Chains A and B, each alone.
Chain A
Amino acid sequence: MFELADQPIDSAAWRTRLAHGAAGALVVFEGWVRNHHLGRPVTELEYEAFDAHARLEGEAIIAEVEQDYPGCRVCCVHRTGRLRVGELSVWIGAAAPHRAAAFLACRQVIEELKRRLPVWKKEHHPDGATEWVNCTAEAATSRLSPETYHARQIALPEVGAAGQAALAAASLLVVGVGGLGCPAALYLATAGLGRLTLADGGLVELSNLHRQILFTADEVGVAKATAAAARLKAHNPLARIEAFATRVTPLNVRTLVAGRTAVLDCTDNFTARFLLHDACRAAGVPLVSAAVHRFEGELTVYAPGTPGCLHCQWPAHRPAELDATGDCASGPVFAPTVGVLGVMQAAEALKLILRTPGADFRHTRLLNLLDASVLAVERTANPSCPVCGQPAIIRSDRTPSRPDVILTEEAFVALGPVRTAWLLEAGETARAGFPGAECVLAGDVLRLRELAAAGPLVLACRSGVRSAALARLLRAEGMGAVFARAVGAT
């Protein structure tokens, strides 16, 4: 609840409004009129509001904060008119189940309010002079200047004014705000990006704090994306940071990835990694991926023009099975390993935006923090990759024959009406080989997965090879009723 008030604030009454049984903590912020500002004595303050707009903005701020901290209730009242020294100018109360969320929510309200609420204040000095705060020439020069903030970065010949402008126009998505995502986001938040989105559906946990360096012990239980965004906004008030405190799923991944300059894969499991990889590939967005195992880590940039794809490396593996073989989600981690890898991910992403000469996205880097070595491994495309290989080269005999995947014409007819996808090679005309089929780019595994999730699916293509390879891939991922027609175009 937000109010503008032209009469003194009754803080006791506001406190009562917030009382509810599920609340275990109330954090209150009171703004007081003080008797000095920038070294000059102040006798009175005069607050003026753009009423209708201020009410909407105030309500919006509270709605955002209540959404960021589930179970938290927030009230805020802001004074207008003339106030004497010692009077209450703003009262904010945040009641939450636990104190961590209450402190964070209260802080977020006052910071957002000072930045956004269309309210102005005029200082009255003892000599009768008056001054609108923040509206003087001195205020204009002393405000946080992006040029000054980024000066040492702009001084790099590889950045310069043009590079800084490219960063300001860039939009980045970090998926996973854990051991990798925390250090990556820290360096991205200070780079001057146009937009930075942090996506993570998890909560801060005590056993993760040793490597998830954006969080403090009193934030345990708070949504990671929300806590990280709050921390980074405090670190750099100029940064435009959004929290997406929800798990990335096949349903939201397209929207999240759309329009991004690059995406950072800071996840800890193959299911999420394949999902992000396929979504980025479909959207033509570069993906900077990293994974760690104890003292070792791996860094790979998948971008248009780099060799191969994630499926080249793991042909026809089920992500859940790959996850079961490792221990990255819950196993032991040497914290500096994720720290180094996360910062390297930020560096690769910034170089992608800056098109830095000398950047090399064709090698995968293998790091070993035990002997502090970095090995560059040249990536090559796997010619028989079901996703990015050429149909002329995909050797169907390399995967054991699975007769239940290939449908003969009789079996296809016997199946009755069924959803069908016609797979297109790059550059091929978008016209299905037979009526009723949806055209899908062969590399768009994301779309094929969506279709397969909706029920039985038959794949077909001109050669009959790609469809068989992709049907096997989707089967291997655990999709049941996916088939390939034995022949190509009819």
Chain B
Amino acid sequence: MNPTAPRLLQLQFFAALREQAGCSTLAVETAARTPAELYRELQACRGLTLPAELLRVAVNARYVAMDTPLQAGDHVVFIPPVAGG
């Protein structure tokens, strides 16, 4: 598969990111190849203000590195700094 061809991803937002994005879930068609690229896109078009270095990312319910290649259909969650307890 062409790595730069647009693909459909399922996004889910929580807490501060949910409020900034204005939705909990979002299906996007994107040419972003990695979570890092995807987050830069979202910052530009959705006005997300949290700096990327504060975030972790879970793809298909597993924490992965920000430069992990994304596949069509992936479920991507950017995780803001947690504050349980």
List chain A positions with a Cβ less than 8 A from chain B: 31, 47-48, 50, 52-53, 56, 78, 89-90, 110, 113-122, 132-135, 139-140, 143
Q: In the complex where A132-B15, A135-B16, A135-B50 touch, is A53 in contact with B83 (Cβ < 8 A)?
A: no
Count of chain B residues with Cβ under 8 Å from any Cβ of A? 19
A122 to B84, CA, bound (A): 11
Residues of B within 8 A of A118 (CB): 14, 58, 79, 82
List chain B positions with a Cβ less than 8 A from chain A: 12, 14-16, 18-19, 50-51, 54, 58, 61, 77, 79-85
Task: Please determine whether B84 and A135 come into contact, CB atoms closer than 8 angstroms.
Answer: no
Task: Please determine whether B77 and A53 come into contact, CB atoms closer than 8 angstroms.
Answer: yes
A143 touches which of B14, B18, B79, B81 (Cβ 8 Å):
B81
A134 to B82, CA, bound (A): 7
B84 touches which of A52, A121, A139 (Cβ 8 Å):
A121
Nearest-neighbor residue (CB-CB) of B84 within chain A: A119
Q: How far is the CB of B5 from chain A (nearest CB, A)?
A: 29
Task: Please determine whether A48 and B15 come into contact, CB atoms closer than 8 angstroms.
Answer: yes
Nearest-neighbor residue (CB-CB) of B51 within chain A: A140
A135 touches which of B12, B61, B77, B81 (Cβ 8 Å):
B81
Task: Please determine whether B14 and A31 come into contact, CB atoms closer than 8 angstroms.
Answer: no
Task: Please determine whether A121 and B54 come into contact, CB atoms closer than 8 angstroms.
Answer: no
Task: Please determine whether B80 and A53 come into contact, CB atoms closer than 8 angstroms.
Answer: no
Q: In the complex where A115-B82, A120-B82, A120-B83 touch, is A50 in contact with B16 (Cβ < 8 A)?
A: no
A132 to B79, CA, bound (A): 13
Residues of B within 8 A of A47 (CB): 84
A120 touches which of B14, B54, B61 (Cβ 8 Å):
B14
Task: Please determine whether A139 and B81 come into contact, CB atoms closer than 8 angstroms.
Answer: yes
Residues of A within 8 A of B18 (CB): 48
Nearest-neighbor residue (CB-CB) of A50 within chain B: B14
B82 touches which of A56, A119, A122 (Cβ 8 Å):
A119
Task: Please determine whether B80 and A134 come into contact, CB atoms closer than 8 angstroms.
Answer: yes
Residues of B within 8 A of A52 (CB): 61
15 A-B pairs whose Cβ atoms sit less than 8 Å apart in the complex: A31-B85, A50-B12, A50-B77, A53-B61, A56-B61, A78-B84, A89-B85, A114-B83, A116-B82, A117-B84, A119-B84, A120-B15, A122-B15, A135-B80, A140-B54
A139 to B83, CA, bound (A): 11
Q: In the complex where A52-B61, A53-B58, A53-B61 touch, is A133 in contact with B83 (Cβ < 8 A)?
A: yes
A114 touches which of B12, B19, B51, B82 (Cβ 8 Å):
B82
A377 to B66, CA, bound (A): 49
Q: How far is the CB of A57 from chain B (nearest CB, A)?
A: 9
Residues of B within 8 A of A53 (CB): 58, 61, 77
Nearest-neighbor residue (CB-CB) of A132 within chain B: B16
Task: Please determine whether A134 and B61 come into contact, CB atoms closer than 8 angstroms.
Answer: no
Nearest-neighbor residue (CB-CB) of B18 within chain A: A48
Task: Please determine whether A120 and B80 come into contact, CB atoms closer than 8 angstroms.
Answer: yes
Residues of B within 8 A of A116 (CB): 82
Q: Which of B15, B58, B79, B80 has the most CB of A within 10 A?
A: B15
A90 to B61, CA, bound (A): 23
Task: Please determine whether A121 and B83 come into contact, CB atoms closer than 8 angstroms.
Answer: yes
Task: Please determine whether A113 and B84 come into contact, CB atoms closer than 8 angstroms.
Answer: yes
Nearest-neighbor residue (CB-CB) of A56 within chain B: B61
Q: How far is the CB of B4 from chain A (nearest CB, A)?
A: 29
A11 to B76, CA, bound (A): 35
A90 touches which of B54, B58, B77, B85 (Cβ 8 Å):
B85
A-B contacts besides A122-B15, A132-B15, A135-B50, 16 pairs, CB < 8 Å: A53-B58, A56-B61, A78-B84, A113-B84, A114-B82, A116-B82, A117-B82, A118-B14, A118-B79, A119-B83, A120-B15, A120-B80, A120-B83, A121-B83, A132-B83, A135-B81
Residues of A within 8 A of B16 (CB): 120, 132, 135
Task: Please determine whether A110 and B14 come into contact, CB atoms closer than 8 angstroms.
Answer: no
Residues of A within 8 A of B50 (CB): 135
Q: How far is the CB of A400 from chain B (nearest CB, A)?
A: 59
Q: How far is the CB of A403 from chain B (nearest CB, A)?
A: 61
A52 to B58, CA, bound (A): 12
